[in-house]
Amino acid sequence: MAEVILKDVSKVYEKDVLAVNKANIEIKDKEFVILVGPSGCGKSTTLRMIAGLEEITEGELYIDGKLMNNVLPKNRDIAMVFQNYALYPHMTVYENMAFGLKLRKFNKKEIDERVKHASDILGITELLDRKPKALSGGQRQRVALGRAIVRKPKVFLFDEPLSNLDAKLRVQMRTEIAKLHSKLEVTMIYVTHDQTEAMTMGDKIVIMDKGDILQTATPLELYRKPKNKFVAGFIGSPAMNFIEGKIISEDTLKFQSINNDLIFPITEKYNSLLSKYINEKVTLGVRPEDILLKEYSMSESNHVMKVSLDVVEPMGNEIYLYFKISENQIVARVQAVDDLTDGKNIDLMLNINKLHFFDNKTEDAISH
Ligand code: ADP
């Protein structure tokens, strides 16, 4: 069992830097939770407070129902894996993994069993006699993981563990860590600034910005129902397009972009929420995948947009199309076809059943 609960946890550094502002997070036993957000949003500080490496200024941290605020890091039954691996260069892989257990006075047999078991899980058995300098980045990261695994902690904490790896290895290690989570059946808390990592790895994602938690949800929920404009723009790649405009009421409710170059009727599902915004400014959010090529669009209810393509970016099986609506740079992610070139005028379809609208003042989502 390892349930981690943060209740109104804040961190103020010297000179009044409010790094974390009343964070409330509930992490269930065996859950894999990702803290994600741009650099400086307070993710590492949150993780370090859980580990006990940083004092909690205000609020309470519970692990398995026990208040941890004043418990020393070594007594929290937590293991942390860092970005820089933090391996001892003069020790072999075996010694690096065994070190923490030796300090805790485990006997030789137990240490040997645990190191062998962990190296087996991680596929590094042949490397046990090597020193870190004779390892690749990916292998070093596995040793760092191994060092955490041998301790059989209640909670694993990861601070951007894959940032130093090249893109291909990062993708591979992502899957390995996710597999490790299901194999070990432990609670894991993972910090990253990379939304793709967050979306592909975690059961639950906590999105932070400027010390605040903006939304906590499953990856799919965040993608489908972002609570505000920040979350909407942060999750998804390429990012959601935003178009400013207003809601007008003619024979029906309509969205009208500022330059009048996009006007379409609001579908019934958004009607009641948007009727409060008649003649008010709102921001429309459209995911690049919800703009389609006309010939591939089945639905009659889609809205046709005539656009002039600025740039056509082939990605293999897909193409990214860049164009402008009311001076906003828009990107559409469509199926690859051959006849699209820069400067061409084409018809695109806007899936008007998959839109997002945001209040211009609060930036909160009006509807999903
Ligand atoms: P993240 O991990 O999301 O990049 P951090 O938790 O490292 O963000 O930092 C959050 C905020 O706290 C930033 O504004 C950062 O400059 C500040 N900060 C982090 N560590 C310290 C420190 N030791 N002293 C003062 N300010 C700090």
Residue with CA closest to ligand 1 atom 2:
44
Most ligand 1 atoms within 8 A of CB, residue of 45, 46, 48, 206 to mutate:
45
CA 59, 187, 96, 144 dihedral sign is negative
Q: Please provide the average confidence, as pLDDT, over all residues in the chain.
A: 92
Q: How confident is the model at residue 23 (pLDDT cuts 50, 70, 90)?
A: very high
Query: Angle at the Cα of 307 (from 325 to 284), degrees rounded to 5?
Result: 35
> Residue 277: which pLDDT band, with cuts at 50, 70 and 90?
very high
For 316-348, what is each residue's pLDDT tens digit? 999 999 999 998 999 999 998 888 899 999 999
pLDDT digits (tens, 9 = 90+) for 129-141: 999 999 988 889 8
Q: What's the token pair of residue 297?
A: 């669009």
**Distance from C-alpha of 234 to C-alpha of 131, rounded to nearest angstrom:** 40
Q: What's 219's DSSP letter?
A: H
Ligand 1: which of 10, 11, 17, 57 to mutate, judged by most atoms within 8 Å of the beta carbon?
17
Decide if pLDDT at 368 tops 60: no
User: Dihedral sign, CA of 350, 353, 359, 363?
Assistant: negative
In our burial notation (b when 16+ CB lie closer than 10 A, e otherwise), range 183-198 reads: ebebbbbbbbbbbebb
Dihedral sign from CA coordinates of 142, 148, 153, 158: negative
Q: Can you tell me the mean pLDDT for 287-302?
A: 82
The residue to which tokens 């921001």 are assigned? 283
> CB within 6 Å of ligand 1 — which residues?
13-14, 17, 19, 37, 39-45
Average the pLDDT over 300-317 and give the result.
89
Q: Which of 98, 101, 103 is nearest to 115 (CA)?
A: 98
The protein residue whose alpha carbon is closest to atom 26 in ligand 1 is: 13
Residue 239's pLDDT band (cuts 50, 70, 90): very high
Mutate to test the pocket of ligand 1, among 9, 12, 13 (most ligand atoms within 8 A of CB): 13
CA-nearest of 48, 57, 71, 66 to 11 is 57
Which ligand 1 atom is at minimum distance from the Cα of 191? 2
pLDDT band at 183 (very low <50, low <70, confident <90, very high): confident
How confident is the model over 245-258, as pLDDT tens digits? 999 998 889 999 99
Query: What was the pLDDT predicted at 163?
Result: 84
Distance of CA 78 to the CA centre of its chain: 22
Output the CA 163–ligand 1 centroid distance in Å. 18
**pLDDT exceeds 70 at position 284:** yes
Distance, CA 207 to ligand 1 centroid (Å)?
A: 16
pLDDT in tens, 355-367: 999 999 999 999 6
Model confidence at 299: pLDDT above 80: no
**Structure letter (DSSP) for residue 240:** P
pLDDT recorded at residue 108: 94
Identify the pLDDT of residue 81. Answer: 87
